[in-house]
Amino acid sequence: MNWLARMDVDAEIAYAEHIFDSYQWHKKLWGCFPNGSDKKRDFLTRIDPLEGSFRLWIQAQRKPERPHWCPEAGFALKEITPGFLSHRYYAFDLRANPVKALVQHDESGEALRKPNGKRKRGKRVPLVNQDELRAWLSRKGAVRCRDHTNRGGYPRGISNHRTKTAGNQPDDRKPFSQKETESFSRRRPVSRSP
């Protein structure tokens, strides 16, 4: 990806543009790439709700343009040097919706089937157990990561650990506690009104 764009947008503008959730933000961000509606998505986004505004980040292969709803003063664009993406490890925040599908059964206990004989997809339920969450992340990483070197069951660089440091000296690596893990979903609530 060659470009990084930052947009600061007031909540009033988002409200006026009828942007109330991440899906609507995603649709609006396609506007940064005019004449590209027939192309495959080649950009990543991040939306950070702030006090009375939003900060949006786009990393893209194509050069994004400032959309009409973003103030000129709130738009910044930078070309990413090729060396930036050559590091071995990166740190990032991940917002995901880990779920599993429960198998639906008929009265006799058999799994429900579609007319074509395939099993019906069950009701989606959230994963909240630590072991289930780790397994979900490991499976998704194994499918989507290019570097499949395993480290404790995780694709390279993915783990449930963090490094605590005192100055520059690394301390014991401790897994996130259940309380910390649960707090991640509450860290950045998305406001539905300005």
pLDDT for res 191: 41
| Residues of the chain scoring pLDDT < 70 | 1, 36-38, 144-194
Residues contacting residue 148 through CB under 8 Å, at least 6 positions apart: 142, 155, 156
List pLDDT tens digits, range 19-32: 888 888 888 888 89
pLDDT for res 64: 92
- This prediction has a pTM of 0.53
Report the Cα 81 to chain-centroid distance in Å: 23
